[in-house]
Structure 1
Amino acid sequence: MSEEIKISWMDKLLAKVFLPLFPRWIKPNHVSVGRIFLTPLVIWFFWRDSYLWGGFLFLATSFTDALDGAMARTRNQVTNLGKMLDPLADKILICTVAYILVLKYVDVYTAWVVIVLEFIIIVAALLKYKRGEEHPQANWWGKIKMILQVLGVLILLLSIIFNIEHLLPISKGTFYLAIVFGILSLFTYSI
C-alpha cells in the first residue's frame, strides 16, 4: 500500500530557496550518502580541535537532512532506500559527534544515552522491517529530536569556541530534551 506524500510548508520553502541549486540528476539519496561521507571530515576537524571549521561543516552537513527529505517529497523521489538512508546518515553524524564532543565536554552518561537511544531506534526500525511492515516515516517527534541534537551540538561548540562555560549546562539540557523527544519518537513507531 502506497502512502500519500505530505509536503509541508518547510518542504515548499526549501524547494523554492535551496533546491534550485541542485540539478535534477542529483537525487535525495545522493544527498544522504553525501552526509555519510562528510561525517568523517566533520569528525576530523573536531578531533584536531578545529571547532570553528568543524562547526561550520557540521551545520552544513546537518542542513542536508532537511534538504534530502524536501527534495524527495517535492520532486516525487521518495524511495524505500531513502527512508532507510536518511535516518541512518543522521544517526551516524549525531552518534559520532556525541562520541567525540559530548563525551569530552559534557559527560559520559549523556553521550552514551544519546548513542544508545539512536541504536535502539535503528533496531526498532529493523524489527518492523523484518516483520514485513513498511519502514516507518520520520515523525515530528523524531524531527524535533534531530533539531534539538543539532542545537545541542551548536551550543556546545559556542561554549568551546568562545570559552563560555555556562553554556555547557544549556547544551546538556538540550541533549536531554532531545532524548525525551527520541523516546516519544520511538513509541510512535508502535514497536
Structure 2
Amino acid sequence: MNLPNKLTLMRVLLIPVFLVFFLIPGIPCHYLLAMIVFIAASITDALDGHLARKHNLVTNFGKFLDPLADKVLVMTALACFVDNQMIGVIPFLIIMMREFMVSGLRLVAANSGTVIAAGFWGKLKTAFTMVTIIAILVYLSFSGDFNSFSLACADTIDRVCGWILTGLVWISAGLTVISGWIYLRGYWKFIDPEA
C-alpha cells in the first residue's frame, strides 16, 4: 500500500477516535482533543491527494476510499453537532443529500467509464465546511472545556458566536447546493431519463 492510501486509511481510522473524544465529556478537554483529531484528519485529506498526483501514485483503492473518507469524516462531525444542538437538522440534511446525490452520480458515471473529478465549487465547499467544523470545535472547546466565557458578558459572547457559527453552517449548506447543482448540470447526461 502506498503512502497516499495509508494517509487515507489513517483518516478513516481517526473518525472513531474523533467520536470518542467528542462524545465522552468525562475525558479532560474532550472538545479540544476532538478538534485536534479532526484537524489531523483534514491534513491527511490535503496530503494524500497531493502526494498521489505528484508522485503518480493514484490507485483505484485511493479513488474509492478518499472521497468516502472525506464524506464520512464531515458527516460524522456534523451529526455530532446536530446531536448536541450546535447546528440544526435542516442544513445537515441538505449537506447529506448532496453527498448522496454526487456519490450516486459518480457511480453511474464510473459505470460509463467517466471519472468525475472534484471541481472548483466542490473543493470550495469541502474547504469551507472543514473550516466551519473547526470553528464550531474551537467554540465548543473555549465554552465547554475551558469555560472561557464565564464573564459578565458571557450571554452576549455566546449569542454573537451562535450567530456567526449559524451563518457559517448556512454558507456551507449554500455552497453544498451550488456545487451539487453544478455537478448535476454538468453530468446530467448520465442520468437523463430522456436519453
- Place the TM-score, normalised by the shorter chain, in its bin: 0.7 to 0.9
- CA distance in structure 1 between the partners assigned to 2:175 and 2:38 by the alignment: 18
Residue of structure 2 in register with 1:30 after alignment: 6
2:108 pairs with 1:127: yes
Letter in 1 for 2:5: N
- CA distance in structure 1 between the partners assigned to 2:168 and 2:183 by the alignment: 22
Residue of structure 1 in register with 2:160 after alignment: 166
Aligned pairs for 1:42-81 (under 5 A) are: 42-49=18-25, 50-81=30-61
2:81 pairs with 1:101: yes
- Name structure 1 gaps, 5 residues minimum: 1-24
Letter in 2 for 1:35: R
Residue of structure 2 in register with 1:147 after alignment: 127
Letter in 1 for 2:20: W
Partner of 1:162: helix, strand, or coil?
Answer: helix
Dislocated runs of 4+, deviation >3 Å: none
Residue of structure 2 in register with 1:19 after alignment: none
- CA distance in structure 2 between the partners assigned to 1:92 and 1:56 by the alignment: 17
Match of 1:113 among 94, 97, 109: 94
Greater C-alpha Rg: 2
Partner of 2:116: helix, strand, or coil?
Answer: coil
Identity among equivalent positions (%) equals: 30
Higher relative contact order (CA 8 A, sep 6+): 2
Aligned residue pairs total 166
Could you give the per-residue CA deviations for residues 57-83 of structure 1, whole angstroms, max 9, x where no partner exists? Answer: 101101111100001011111123312
**TM-score between the two structures when normalised by the length of structure 2:** 0.76
- CA distance in structure 1 between the partners assigned to 2:138 and 2:159 by the alignment: 10
What's the CA shift for 1:102?
Answer: 3.7
**TM-score between the two structures when normalised by the length of structure 1:** 0.78
What's the CA shift for 1:47?
Answer: 1.2
